[in-house]
Amino acid sequence: NAMFSWQRTAYHFQPQKNWMNDPDGPLYHMGWYHLFYQYNPDSAVWGNITWGHAVSRDLIHWLYLPFAMVPDQWYDINGVWTGSATILPDGKIVMLYTGDTVDAVQVQNLAYPANLSDPLLLDWVKYPDNPVLIPPIGIAIDEYRDPTTAWLGPDGKWRVTIGSKVNGAGVSLVYKTTNFTTYELLENYLHEVPGTGMWECVDFYPVAINGSTGLDTSVNGPGIKHLLKASLDDTKVDVYALGTYFVNNDTWVPDNPAEDVGLGLKYDYGRYYASKTFYDPKFERRVLWGWINETDTEYEDLAKGWASLQTIPRTVLFDNKTGTNILQWPVEEVESLRLNSTDFEGVVVKPGSVVELNIGTATQLDIFADFEIESLGLEETNEANGGCRGGAVDRSRLGPFGLLVIADETLSELTPIYFRPTNTSDGGLQTYFCADERRSSKANDVFNQVYGSQVPVLDDEKFSMRLLVDHSIVESFAQGGRTVITSRVYPTEAIYGAARLFLFNNATGVNVKATLKIWQLNSAFIHPFPLDQIDTVKP
Ligand code: FRU
């Protein structure tokens, strides 16, 4: 189906057709990265949920494999839902996933590879005595899903946590197990936050306070914080907080209770949900996958024959400069797609102006942009409210300024990605990082709004952003990945060779000086695995 074919991306993971949602059970095995994903084999809307499966050598080029698991048992006949992989010390792989039963009860099931020496892990065995867990007393049968990767405690027992809801509070239950077939439910929740609703796709992992490598899920000790993430079913956002994991009673406490899970930070302020990390032993990093969902109508998704994408995988590190957030950054391998680059040095953008960056077609880009502001010495005026909501046209003394991406020559379609600093009463700056999608498409039935949040900009830092542009997706990273916004846009004019890139400055009181390096990016190779060549697969 060629309808809206220009919205297909060139280097983001998406199936050839039909519906996809959450990433599932990502893992590294014998030289291959494996991605499983919630998939509807029959349609571009959610249903018949099956585990799609793809493999990659480098997290960028992908080969689709046959489905890993299909809904064919009483305990998952309504869907093989989200789950996570645990690699045991002896190399065995344990997959725990939620099944929606014939009676629409959410249960947890165990599966494992039929042949661990197969680098492609083509065949999966569902444990014959599934389910291994059913909703405990006090937990609704439809609010009990998405088991995490397990971690090993000092008592030699594994822990798994599973999100739920109790009296309107988001909670995460903890189970202990030694064999992954029988479990003991702990009395305490790992954590609970009143008013946050059902927690889907909980993720829980350690981050090093000082260090440039990621940590395997069971690592614990001094110099480590733990990150707790939940996907809020009510508002469809991925929220997290950093804190301390107390292994003696398997509870977690946030560093800052005012910024607890769901009250503070989001992984991504754009279209992003149901994310999951895994530990990559090859490069000692923690890698984050996230689902980019659609904002057009189901009718259009059916017409175009597909829905949703996955982000470029991101490494996750603790930000030891701020001490309050993580840094997300596209995996280095995306740089292998770089073609020619163009540099722009100190481009001055005056208040109220737009400057085109002549780089040719602007559909597949890796953009690094630094901005400095030069005061025009004007009187301090009453500052507008800080924040993003007024969009790229909401002018104030110091901003907004940034880039117009996926724009056409006449600016009839454009997506501004920008900074909006404002003076604070104590003489400092408070900066927001935003994406304004409201003019991103002439189509009138797509939902678009202004996204964004505050971003810490430290005293010695310029305003800096990195953008990955891919036809209908923009992943935007501010200040090295402190604040991230994914945009899913639906251009009708700014497509293929008509897509352009501009700088803009809508501040009233400052010139902006921009320095950029912009690479054209190649397309990734994302195709079915040639199964007749399966014998050529070597670890
Ligand atoms: C999150 C989610 C999970 C569930 C899966 C079903 O998007 O609702 O909670 O396991 O999707 O497809």
* Among 22, 24, 250, 366, the one annotated catalytic: 22
69 touches ligand 1 (CB under 6 Å): no
Cβ neighbour number for residue 98 with a 10 Å cutoff? 25
The DSSP bridge partners found for residue 175 are 160, 185
Nearest CA to ligand 1 atom 12: 81
pLDDT tens figures, 78-98: 999 999 999 999 999 999 999
> Quick one: 105 exposed, middle or buried, by C-beta within 10 A (0-12, 13-18, 19+)?
middle
Mean pLDDT over residues 300-320, rounded? 97
98 touches ligand 1 (CB under 6 Å): yes
User: Three-class SS of residue 97?
Assistant: strand
Give the homologous superfamily in CATH for domain 335-521.
Exo-inulinase; domain 1 (2.60.120.560)
Of ligand 1's atoms, which has the minimum distance to the CA of residue 81? 10
22 touches ligand 1 (CB under 6 Å): yes
Ligand 1 midpoint to CA 491 (Å): 28
Mean pLDDT over residues 157-170, rounded? 98
Instruction: Decide whether 18-134 matches 335-521 in CATH topology.
Output: no
Query: Which residues lie closer than 8 Å to 9 by C-beta, 6 or more apart?
Result: 309, 470, 471, 472, 473
For tokens 């350690």, the residue is 206
238 touches ligand 1 (CB under 6 Å): no
Tokens for 34? 């494996």
Of ligand 1's atoms, which has the minimum distance to the CA of residue 201? 9
What pTM does this model have?
0.97
Of ligand 1's atoms, which has the minimum distance to the CA of residue 46? 12
Contact 507, 514 (CB under 8 A): no
ω into 131 cis (within 30 of 0)? yes
Ligand 1 midpoint to CA 79 (Å): 10
Q: Which amino acid is at 514?
A: A
Using alpha carbons, select from 388, 445, 435, 387 the residue that is nearest to residue 415.
435
Q: For position 383, what pLDDT does the model report?
A: 59
User: Three-class SS of residue 15?
Assistant: coil
User: How far apart are the C-alpha atoms of 470 and 491, rounded to whole Å?
Assistant: 12
User: How far apart are the C-alpha atoms of 475 and 264, rounded to whole Å?
Assistant: 21
Nearest CA to ligand 1 atom 1: 274
Tokens for 161? 């946590």
Locate the domains of the chain by residue range. Answer: 18-134, 335-521
- Reported as a pLDDT band with limits 50, 70 and 90, residue 538 is low
Half-sphere exposure of 78 (CA within 13 A, CB side): 12
- Reported as a pLDDT band with limits 50, 70 and 90, residue 531 is confident
230 touches ligand 1 (CB under 6 Å): no
ω into 400 cis (within 30 of 0)? yes
Ligand 1 midpoint to CA 5 (Å): 27
The DSSP bridge partners found for residue 325 are none
24 touches ligand 1 (CB under 6 Å): no
CA-CA-CA-CA torsion for 259, 312, 299, 235, nearest 10 degrees? -10
- Three-state secondary structure of 49-85: CEEEEEEECCCCCEEEEEEEECCCCCCCCCCEEEEEE
Nearest CA to ligand 1 atom 8: 200
Tokens for 215? 């940590």
Using alpha carbons, select from 363, 396, 337 the residue that is nearest to residue 471.
363
280 touches ligand 1 (CB under 6 Å): no
| DSSP element (H, E) containing 520 | strand 510-521
Mean pLDDT over residues 133-146, rounded? 98
State how beta strands 273-280 and 463-470 pair.
unpaired
Contact 14, 8 (CB under 8 A): yes
Q: For position 184, what pLDDT does the model report?
A: 98
- Reported as a pLDDT band with limits 50, 70 and 90, residue 380 is low
Cβ neighbour number for residue 350 with a 10 Å cutoff? 12
pLDDT tens figures, 511-520: 999 999 999 9
200 touches ligand 1 (CB under 6 Å): yes
Contact 286, 293 (CB under 8 A): no
Question: Residue 22 catalytic?
Answer: yes
Contact 458, 399 (CB under 8 A): no
Ligand 1 midpoint to CA 200 (Å): 7
Separation in Å, CA 282 to CA 33, 58, 276: 10, 10, 18
- As a whole number of Å, the CA-based R_g of the chain is 23
145 touches ligand 1 (CB under 6 Å): yes
User: Is 60 exceeded by the pLDDT of residue 1?
Assistant: no
Ligand 1 midpoint to CA 497 (Å): 37
Mutation probe of ligand 1 site: the residue of 48, 69, 75, 81 with most atoms within 8 A of C-beta: 81
- Reported as a pLDDT band with limits 50, 70 and 90, residue 381 is low
pLDDT tens figures, 208-259: 999 899 999 999 999 999 999 999 999 999 999 999 999 999 999 999 999 9
Using alpha carbons, select from 2, 38, 28 the residue that is nearest to residue 291.
38
The DSSP bridge partners found for residue 527 are 63
Ligand 1 midpoint to CA 247 (Å): 28
148 touches ligand 1 (CB under 6 Å): no
Contact 456, 469 (CB under 8 A): no
Q: Specify whether the backbone of 48 is left (phi greater than 0), alpha (psi in -120 to 50) or beta.
A: left
Class of domain 18-134: mainly beta
Interface confidence: ipTM more than 0.90:
yes
- Reported as a pLDDT band with limits 50, 70 and 90, residue 379 is low
Q: Which amino acid is at 225?
A: K
Q: For position 424, what pLDDT does the model report?
A: 85
Nearest CA to ligand 1 atom 6: 81
Separation in Å, CA 79 to CA 12, 270, 458: 25, 27, 47
Ligand 1 midpoint to CA 191 (Å): 20
